[in-house]
């Protein structure tokens, strides 16, 4: 007859043997490969998450970099425009000043030339007037006067001429 609590070494042996065999078989064919695969998948997922994080950080860095570059470029462009405008203004001012100076030089030169020409014309006129006066006086007098008289006459004529002038 069966009893509820019976010492049964055969069952004890079979259970031990069967269970150890089951552990060995499952470890070899199921648990080992499965745990390995789970571990690999965990590593893959961890790596993917890490990569995604890195990519996000890189993207942000690139975005910040491009924003920085853009703003730098804007600043530089604005600087260039400002500088060009200033350069243009300065250049225009210089040109204007130079033109004014040139004009003044031209005017001065012209004045100087006019003065010179005038002086030369006056001197020429004076010489011609003297000659003419002498010849006129000679013709009028038709007489020889002393050298002293002649000289006095000449001086007198020049003096008159100077006054006329």
Partner 1 sequence: MTDMSAVEPAAAAAADGKFNAADSIIGHVANTGFDHPIIHLGTYFGINFDVTKHVFMVWMVAALVFVSVTLMVRRYLAQSRLVPTGGMNALEAGVEFVRDSIVLPNVGQKWVMTWTPLMLTFFLFILVANAVGLIPIFDMLALLDKYVLHTSDHSFLKSLLHGGSTATANFNVTAALATITFFAVIIAGSWANGFIQHWKNLVPHGLALPLYFLLVPLELIGMLVRPFALTMRLAANMAGGHIAILAILSFVFIFTELTTSTLVGAGIGFGFSLPLAVAISGLEIIVVLVQAYVFTLLSAVFIGMAIHAHH
CA distance 78 to 62: 24
* Nearer to partner 1 among residue 35 and residue 141 (C-beta): 35
**Is residue 48 part of the contact set for partner 1 (CB under 8 A)?**
no
* Beta carbons within 8 Å of 158's beta carbon, 6+ residues apart: 130
* Nearer to partner 1 among residue 44 and residue 109 (C-beta): 44
**Is residue 12 part of the contact set for partner 1 (CB under 8 A)?**
yes
**Is residue 46 part of the contact set for partner 1 (CB under 8 A)?**
no
**Is residue 43 part of the contact set for partner 1 (CB under 8 A)?**
no
- 158: nearest Cα among 118, 136, 126: 126
CB of 42 to partner 1, least distance (A): 10
CB of 50 to partner 1, least distance (A): 19
CA distance 78 to 85: 11
CA distance 111 to 28: 120
User: CB under 8 A: which stretch of 20-28, 106-114, 130-138, 150-158 binds partner 1?
Assistant: 20-28
**Is residue 8 part of the contact set for partner 1 (CB under 8 A)?**
yes
CB of 54 to partner 1, least distance (A): 23
Per-residue CA distances from 92 to 103, 106, 154, 163 (Å): 16, 21, 62, 53
Which residues between 76 and 135 bind partner 1 (CB under 8 A)?
none
Per-residue CA distances from 104 to 92, 96, 112, 143 (Å): 18, 12, 12, 57
* Nearer to partner 1 among residue 29 and residue 91 (C-beta): 29
CA distance 134 to 128: 10
- Helices (DSSP H) in 29-146: which residue ranges? 32-141
CB of 14 to partner 1, least distance (A): 5
> Would you tell me which residues interact with partner 1 (CB under 8 A)?
1-16, 18-23, 25-27, 29-35, 37-39, 41
């Amino acid at each position: 007859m069966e009893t509820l609590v019976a010492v049964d070494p055969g069952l004890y042996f079979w259970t031990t043997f069967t269970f150890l065999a089951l552990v060995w078989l499952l470890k070899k064919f199921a648990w080992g490969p499965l745990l390995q695969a789970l571990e690999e998948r965990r590593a893959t997922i961890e790596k993917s998450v890490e990569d995604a994080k890195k990519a996000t950080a890189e993207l942000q860095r690139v975005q910040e970099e491009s924003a920085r570059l853009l703003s730098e470029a804007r600043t530089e462009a604005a600087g260039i425009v400002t500088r060009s405008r200033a350069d243009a203004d300065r250049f225009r001012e210089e040109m204007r000043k130079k033109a004014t100076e040139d004009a003044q030089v031209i005017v001065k030169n012209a004045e100087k030339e006019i003065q010179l020409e005038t002086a030369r014309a006056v001197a020429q006129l004076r010489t011609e007037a003297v000659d003419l006066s002498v010849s006129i006086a000679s013709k009028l007098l038709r007489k020889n006067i002393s050298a002293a008289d002649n000289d006095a006459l000449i001086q007198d004529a020049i003096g008159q001429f100077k006054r006329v002038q």
